[in-house]
Amino acid sequence: MSDIAILAAGCFWGIEDKFSSAEGVIGTEVGYIGGKTNNPTYKDICQGDTFHAEAVRVFYNKEIITYDQLLDLFFEIHDPTTLNSQGPDFGTQYRSAIFCQNDFEALSSENKIKELNRNKFNNKIVTTIELNGNFWIAEEYHQKYLKKKKLSFFNK
Could you tell me if residue 154 is inside a domain?
no
At 32, is the secondary structure helix, strand, or coil? strand
Which pLDDT score, from 0 to 100, does residue 149 have?
83
- Is the pLDDT assigned to residue 153 strictly greater than 80? no
Candidate list 5, 11, 56, 77, residue with the active-site label? 11
Q: Closest Cα partner for 57 from 126, 129, 144, 116?
A: 144
Q: Looking at residues 24-44, what average pLDDT do you find?
A: 95
- Is the pLDDT assigned to residue 154 strictly greater than 70? no
Total domains in the fold of the chain = 1
Could you tell me if residue 41 is inside a domain?
yes
Q: What spatial distance separates the first Cα and last Cα of the chain, rounded to whole Å?
A: 28
Q: Which domain holds residue 14?
A: 3-149
Distance CA 117, CA 96 (A): 15
Could you tell me if residue 127 is inside a domain?
yes
Each residue's pLDDT tens digit, 47-70: 888 999 999 999 999 999 999 999
In this structure, the number of other CB atoms found within 10 A of the CB of residue 13 comes to 23
Each residue's pLDDT tens digit, 86-145: 988 999 999 999 999 999 999 999 999 999 999 999 999 999 999 988 999 999 999 988
Distance CA 73, CA 124 (A): 18
* Residue type (1 letter), 110: E
Look up residue 143 and give its DSSP letter: T
Question: Helix, strand, coil proportions of the chain in percent (round to 5)?
Answer: 35, 25, 40
Question: CATH code at 112?
Answer: 3.30.1060.10
- Is the pLDDT assigned to residue 155 strictly greater than 50? no
Position 18 confidence tier, pLDDT thresholds 50, 70, 90: very high
Could you tell me if residue 155 is inside a domain?
no
Could you tell me if residue 103 is inside a domain?
yes
Cα angle 136, 49, 79; round to 5: 75
Please confirm, yes or no, whether 46 is among the known catalytic residues.
no
Task: Report pTM.
Answer: 0.92
